[in-house]
Structure 1
């Protein structure tokens, strides 16, 4: 009897220990969650350092990663050092290497997969399940002869595999509405992908013309420096011959110094524009290539822009941002229809087939096993009755999203029209400015040549030559800037009209 009582106490002790272990584990898990605070800074003014590392007080530097610091090899990016690249070649490279096109491509793929996932909800779901378990019970009883407490141990174990089918048959158009929304979103993503390529083409084109303008500015600065050195030589020669003055020599030297400053500034601007071009290409900042100039590229005539106004309405129908915004509006309307369908019942079919194999063992008796098989098909209907206003709030949210999409579409369409009109006006102004600057340059060149020859021959004054030189410099810079501005304006107009769709010259894309 003492032995049986000890066994009973031992069983209770095991139960208590198991319960303590479970509670201790739960408490330990809670402690692990709060211990994660050790992985961040101790206070707002204390630097964060990774575990196992130390830092000086007030040092907020972070340890670097060798993988991130690896620079791409410019040669491996299909750019050949020493080769002179034309605009179409640069555009082609950017379309293959600029990260923005890959981002837009992946986003389009994601939404295409999302559309496919919605389509999959029209099909039934078939799942295989296996349930296995083991249960032990100890039933106490009092002996009839000795009056002591005895236990009967019972063990039940079993395995129940089954095959289940679920199929939503009818839901009042909810899945169809969600499918429409997914298709419209996927369409918008694909349009934005093509729009990303158009943006890359435009950014490369604009950067290319800006870089060309910077090259022209540097070339003009170098020519002016050469001319001013000739003027300085003439002033020093006249001073040595006794026909000049020290003031004239000082003025000539000042012109040379100013020309040196302009050339340094032009070189700095050229380097900046070169990095802008590399950024538009998606190339490494350390890439070294040669880029062809654009100073000789012809400009369109003002008369060729007469058809731009009539092309604006047609251009709205192919602007990627307008098309994407309209598709997003249609997706919002479809989502609103799906929210309405949430209030309606849903009809589903369910089926299951499976077996159940179990064993029963009682004490030292032989175990008993049996196996059963069952199959069932069910037709069910579910309908929301009360959810605390969740579906109503969801529908109101969908209505709000639709209203927001309508306003966004109207804003984008109006912005697109304004951009087209502004771009057309900017191109007209740039072309007019170029014609005026071109005529001014021709007149200033005649004046400078006459003033310089007169001074070199001892007839004119250094003041006249200096004024003529300044006038010619301003005219040439104005002509170069107006030419580049006209090219950029032409590119902007083509981009706003949705016509910049390939690596062809932007001037060819102007209607």
Structure 2
């Protein structure tokens, strides 16, 4: 039986090796056959007991069914924030809800924590590494004897022992390599923290922009409803004149067409309002089914035209924008990487030591055990000097220098983009404010025109065509005014964001 042991081990190895190709059965058997879990995936379907992929799912008509099997655990949504449905929420309150519930800011916070822990991991390399080790074993040897002694055909020996030890390893001097790596890690942590603040700034801006866009959509809906009432008034006047024999059926048809057109615009405006609300909820990062009452931003006071010189805004932005600061930290980290690569060419001095004890025993064919116990300790001081590595370190140094050059270009590009965004945001805000002023004057004139055209038609001195045209003109003017109002508010928020000044919920315009 003893010679069969190697054969059994070989057979077991072959059997285990044959398991690897069997894993392909986890996939679909063909490209046009639906996949279905078999309950052995150790994943989201492992507890469902779904059918084997061999029994591919089909629709009632017999066609392949490529639906993913349902798992109720996947439908569990995060807890909805506490919302009072009876009170209107102002913009700062919406921003507060977003900052407390948006997963983007939480993920950014975790990345900042991860980068901070990386600094501690690098600093830990300055301290010695102490390990405890235990080695134990048992060895049995069977040697056939030339001449059997009774039933004894083998000479058996057994050796066993245990050796615990404590070892110390300490890199004492490395020509600043660890310091360079630690500096790079610190710059990475700084960048992660800066970007964390930047994520909050972006979240504030996204919620602010969506809030003003929603406010404009609400205003457009209100204008569309008012226009529908105006069109209805024109239709009533046409029908009244027709009943008195003072109007034609064509005039009534024109008035009714205007009502139908106004009704269509109302429906479209209400749809845009619903879309704008969903965009606001999405910007906040909360459940799309959440219903809350948002305070109307239609009457929000517009910011005054900024008189701050562009040069001053550019200097302010370059000094405090998160992306610029993070890009500069990345540049410093890459420069530290060059120092770390250069230190690879220098020797390293280390200290090593250990304390060990061991005990063992030896037994031969039942003879009395032979035991032994020993204790030892030692301290070593050494140095390692790299001599030849086929150009690996030189390539690593060039790679670090290339990363630094790329980081320098990225930093300059970030500065240029910041300047471009500031100039564009300033121009957009000025245009929006001027557009609102012009749209307000147009709205006043269009309102006067509509009132006059309707009154003239009622009194028989005007035409229904002029009245409906005035109605459409008033609608366009009011909507242009609402859009310009929202654009001015969004422009002010965008300028504050690109300058890096939108730093809290109280900083919104």
* C-alpha separation in 2, matches of 1:289 and 1:147: 96
1:106 lines up with 2:110 in the alignment: yes
1:400 positional shift: 2.1
* C-alpha separation in 1, matches of 2:162 and 2:77: 58
* C-alpha separation in 2, matches of 1:138 and 1:296: 98
Cα-to-partner distance string for 1:381-418 (whole Å, 9 max, x where unaligned): 12222333332332232222222212211111111110
Cα-to-partner distance string for 1:463-506 (whole Å, 9 max, x where unaligned): 11112112211111111100001111111100000000000252
State the partner residue of 2:418. Answer: 416
**How does 1:114-263 map onto structure 2 within 5 Å?**
114-142=118-146, 151-263=154-266
State the partner residue of 1:504. Answer: 506
For the residue of structure 1 that corresponds to 2:74, the secondary structure is coil
* C-alpha separation in 2, matches of 1:251 and 1:50: 63
1:453 positional shift: 1.1
State the partner residue of 1:7. Answer: none
Match of 2:495 among 481, 493, 496: 493
Q: Determine if contact 2:313/2:422 at 8 Å carries over to the other structure.
A: no
* C-alpha separation in 2, matches of 1:146 and 1:324: 83
* C-alpha separation in 2, matches of 1:173 and 1:360: 51
1:32 positional shift: 2.0
Q: Tell me which moved more, 305-314 or 188-197.
A: 305-314
* C-alpha separation in 2, matches of 1:168 and 1:348: 4
**How does 1:360-375 map onto structure 2 within 5 Å?**
360-375=362-377
Match of 2:281 among 278, 281, 289: 278
State the partner residue of 2:47. Answer: none
1:67 positional shift: 1.4
1:148 positional shift: 12
1:470 lines up with 2:465 in the alignment: no
For the structure 1 residues 27 and 335, does the alpha-carbon distance in structure 2 shift closer, same or farther, using more than 3 Å as the test?
farther
State the partner residue of 1:79. Answer: 83
State the partner residue of 1:287. Answer: 290
Task: Give the total of aligned pairs.
Answer: 490
* C-alpha separation in 2, matches of 1:493 and 1:205: 12
State the partner residue of 2:318. Answer: 316
* C-alpha separation in 1, matches of 2:281 and 2:165: 61
Return the TM-score normalized by structure 2.
0.93
1:18 lines up with 2:15 in the alignment: no
State the partner residue of 2:76. Answer: 70
For the residue of structure 1 that corresponds to 2:330, the secondary structure is helix
1:30 lines up with 2:40 in the alignment: no
Q: Determine if contact 2:501/2:507 at 8 Å carries over to the other structure.
A: no
For the structure 1 residues 102 and 47, does the alpha-carbon distance in structure 2 shift closer, same or farther, using more than 3 Å as the test?
same
* C-alpha separation in 1, matches of 2:365 and 2:467: 122
Q: Determine if contact 2:317/2:418 at 8 Å carries over to the other structure.
A: no
For the structure 1 residues 400 and 46, does the alpha-carbon distance in structure 2 shift closer, same or farther, using more than 3 Å as the test?
farther
Cα-to-partner distance string for 1:227-267 (whole Å, 9 max, x where unaligned): 11111111100000111111111111011000100000001
* C-alpha separation in 1, matches of 2:116 and 2:304: 44
1:27 positional shift: 2.1
Match of 2:304 among 301, 305, 313: 301
Deviating beyond 4 angstroms after TM superposition, the runs of 4 or more aligned structure 1 residues are: 145-150
1:480 lines up with 2:482 in the alignment: yes
* C-alpha separation in 1, matches of 2:73 and 2:149: 79
1:146 positional shift: 8.8
Match of 2:344 among 342, 345, 353: 342
1:64 positional shift: 2.2
Q: Tell me which moved more, 150-159 or 271-280.
A: 150-159
1:280 positional shift: 0.8
**Gap runs ≥5 in structure 2:** 39-50
Return the TM-score normalized by structure 1.
0.92
* C-alpha separation in 2, matches of 1:444 and 1:408: 51
* C-alpha separation in 1, matches of 2:428 and 2:96: 27
1:17 positional shift: 2.2
1:308 positional shift: 4.2
For the residue of structure 1 that corresponds to 2:476, the secondary structure is helix
For the structure 1 residues 333 and 292, does the alpha-carbon distance in structure 2 shift closer, same or farther, using more than 3 Å as the test?
same
**Gap runs ≥5 in structure 1:** 1-12
* C-alpha separation in 1, matches of 2:299 and 2:481: 12
State the partner residue of 2:434. Answer: 432
For the structure 1 residues 147 and 389, does the alpha-carbon distance in structure 2 shift closer, same or farther, using more than 3 Å as the test?
farther
Q: Determine if contact 1:214/1:270 at 8 Å carries over to the other structure.
A: yes
For the residue of structure 1 that corresponds to 2:247, the secondary structure is coil
For the residue of structure 1 that corresponds to 2:378, the secondary structure is strand
For the residue of structure 1 that corresponds to 2:126, the secondary structure is coil
Q: Determine if contact 1:88/1:503 at 8 Å carries over to the other structure.
A: yes
* C-alpha separation in 2, matches of 1:308 and 1:296: 29
State the partner residue of 1:48. Answer: 35
Q: Determine if contact 1:361/1:368 at 8 Å carries over to the other structure.
A: yes
* C-alpha separation in 2, matches of 1:243 and 1:309: 67
1:21 positional shift: 2.5
1:207 positional shift: 0.2
Cα-to-partner distance string for 1:63-115 (whole Å, 9 max, x where unaligned): 122112124453xx122223210000000110110110001001001111111
